[in-house]
Amino acid sequence: MTSNTLEVLDQGTPISISFQDMLKYHGPGFPGGVAHALKVMQRAFPLLDPERPPERREIVIETAFRGPGARDAFEMVTRAVTGDRFVVDPALERTERGTTLERYVFRLRYRDRAVTVIIREGYVTDEFIALSRKPGRTAAEERHLAVLKQEMADRLTGAPATDVYEVVGAA
70-92: pLDDT as tens digits = 999 999 999 999 999 999 999 99
Q: Is the pLDDT of residue 1 over 50?
A: no
* 122 class by beta-carbon count within 10 Å (0-12 exposed, 13-18 middle, 19+ buried): exposed
Question: pLDDT per residue over 108-119, tens digit each?
Answer: 999 999 999 999
Return the pLDDT at 169: 87
Calculate what percentage of the chain has a pLDDT beyond 90.
96
Neighbours of 48 (CB within 10 A): 20
pTM for the structure as a whole: 0.96
pLDDT class for 2, splitting at 50, 70, 90?
low
Question: pLDDT per residue over 87-138, tens digit each?
Answer: 999 999 999 999 999 999 999 999 999 999 999 999 999 999 999 999 999 9
Question: pLDDT per residue over 37-50, tens digit each?
Answer: 999 999 999 999 99
Structurally, the chain folds into a number of domains equal to 1
Helices (H), 49-138: 68-78, 126-132
Return the pLDDT at 171: 82
Residue 110 β-bridge partners: 59, 113
Q: Do the Cβ atoms of 104 and 70 come closer than 8 Å?
A: no
Write the CATH number for 36. Answer: 3.30.1330.130
Task: Calculate the average pLDDT of the chain.
Answer: 96
Question: pLDDT per residue over 154-170, tens digit each?
Answer: 999 999 999 999 999 88
Question: pLDDT per residue over 7-24, tens digit each?
Answer: 999 999 999 999 999 999
Return the pLDDT at 34: 98
Residues of the domain holding 130? 5-170
| CA nearest neighbour of 37 among 26, 48, 28, 52 | 26
